[in-house]
């Protein structure tokens, strides 16, 4: 996730804010991540959005299977699901969901505004 943030920040000329949590998979071994990411509006354009996805795939170790005029097909693709932030929820609602699930409760965290 640190590499993802560093790469996306470089793509956004420094304008990328990133907060993530790691959550244990309940049905199998391992963990998965959730993140809140703030990027400039032009990242909704297909070319820029595709760049986010492609850089993430490279960082999680997926290999390019085919390059069709710049459109990459990945083997060993890492799952990534990017959704638009729901403005009816504030960022605290997203974050507190995971903090309240923490093994030792919310006392393990310092919240800064």
**pLDDT exceeds 60 at position 104:** no
Contact of 2 with 8, CB cutoff 8 Å: no
CA distance 91 to 89: 7
**pLDDT exceeds 70 at position 105:** no
pLDDT in tens, 17-49: 988 878 777 777 888 788 888 899 999 998 898
Percent helix / strand / coil, the chain, rounded to 5: 35, 25, 40
For 8, the enclosing helix (H) or strand (E) is helix 2-11
Nearest CA-CA partner of 101 in 29, 31, 2, 1: 31
């Amino acid at each position: 996730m640190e590499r993802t943030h560093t790469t996306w920040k470089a793509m956004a000329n420094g304008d990328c804010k990133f907060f993530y949590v790691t959550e244990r998979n309940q049905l199998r071994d391992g963990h998965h991540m959730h993140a809140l990411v703030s990027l400039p509006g032009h990242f909704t354009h297909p070319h820029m959005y595709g760049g986010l996805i492609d850089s993430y795939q490279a960082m999680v170790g997926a290999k390019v299977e085919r390059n069709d005029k710049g459109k990459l097909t990945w083997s060993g693709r890492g799952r990534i699901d990017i959704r638009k932030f729901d403005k009816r929820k504030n960022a605290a609602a997203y974050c507190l969901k995971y903090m309240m699930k923490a093994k030792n409760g919310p006392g393990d965290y310092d919240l800064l505004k």
